[in-house]
Homo-oligomer: A and B are copies of this chain.
């Protein structure tokens, strides 16, 4: 994308109704309008194009971004760090350990104490069902209150870097990948995508990706097939969201009970392991009560159960059943690759290898998606601001 094309893209922002993004957070994609999601895609592309053209998009001369990861993370941590750096913000880690923090005054106090000069707070909290999203909302309320009470000069924007319900920076990157692959958002209409469970020898993988995918991909008029073994269902609320979305967008949403059904004639496949909702609920209770032996029993039981579905692997044979045998394989990475990272896993080595490059490219959108979310919440007229940034002509590398 050259400068002329960047300007064209910036101009498209003017027609979008995105006033509500200003000074607002990003928690769940289904809380956002189509225009808002579209603006994120657009701004992400523009910021990427600027960087590719050595144009600096730094808009903060100084400013802090608070990062709170309750789980180990390399990819998302670097994506957040890269996004903040691109805009001129400096990341300061808030290290509260992995334990669930208390509620009430402790959350409110900490949220305010770290935010005196903070413009952004990025949180990853996906370990406890029913906790991550609530925690983020509590932090958002705390800083909102702090701002209204004149404790905070500015109201930091929250970005959900993965919670128990959704993983919007991942799924929006996935969607942007598809948009670019299929010639624009309209190119996704009528395309069939299979979001399916897949076997993994590990346990307790979060539900946020499959939930996020069915909650988002149903927005674009796609035929979404969701398949998993018996008992591996996700949150009912999100399934309902997916159904409503499909209805509204003119696509479809169906639950299948085998990879075979879901993959048949699919244009895109996204096979990935997750833990059953019921197991995650039990695990949350055990974690909260600190029942270590209970957790071990649950893990054992769960791994045993997983093994029943060891055949849920994305193989060449399965890929051959997709549209012209050429479906795009997707994964949020890292994947459990049979014979590479484990004995038996989510995907065969040859399928993974074939799609390695598009998967890496898919992951590469995340920093820009995060930067776009921040950008859109910080400027009342993001299009005008991007034009100013462009015309400033500051080089990223001198």
Contact = CB atoms under 8 A, between A and B. Distances in A.
A333 B113 contact: yes
Contact of A60 (B60, B90, B114, B397): B397
A378 B364 contact: no
Interface string A135-156: 0000000000010011111000
Contacts of A74: 94, 110, 113-114
Contacts of A333: 109, 113
A146 B361 CA distance: 9
A82 B151 contact: no
B153 A341 contact: no
Given A64-B81, A396-B63, A150 B105 contact: no
A382 B117 CA distance: 22
A355 interface: no
Nearest to A106: B341
Contact of A105 (B61, B105, B341, B398): B341
A298 interface: no
Contacts of A398: 58-61, 385, 388-389, 392
A51 B153 contact: yes
A311 interface: no
Nearest to A53: B153
A112 interface: yes
B114 A397 contact: no
A291 to B, nearest CB: 25
Given A61-B56, A104-B340, A378-B397, A90 B94 contact: no
A147 to B, nearest CB: 11
- The 10 A-B pairs at the shortest CB distance, nearest first, are namely A82-B117, A56-B61, A59-B398, A151-B360, A78-B114, A81-B92, A116-B364, A149-B357, A75-B113, A85-B90
Interface of A: 48, 51-52, 56-64, 66, 74-75, 77-79, 81-82, 85-88, 90-92, 94, 104-106, 109-110, 112-114, 116-119, 146, 149-153, 333-334, 337, 340-341, 357, 360-361, 363-364, 366-367, 378, 385, 388-389, 392, 394-398
30 contacts: A51-B117, A57-B62, A58-B61, A58-B62, A59-B397, A62-B85, A62-B86, A63-B396, A64-B82, A64-B85, A74-B94, A75-B114, A81-B92, A85-B90, A85-B117, A91-B92, A105-B337, A106-B341, A109-B333, A112-B360, A112-B363, A113-B360, A113-B363, A116-B364, A149-B357, A149-B360, A151-B357, A151-B364, A388-B398, A389-B398
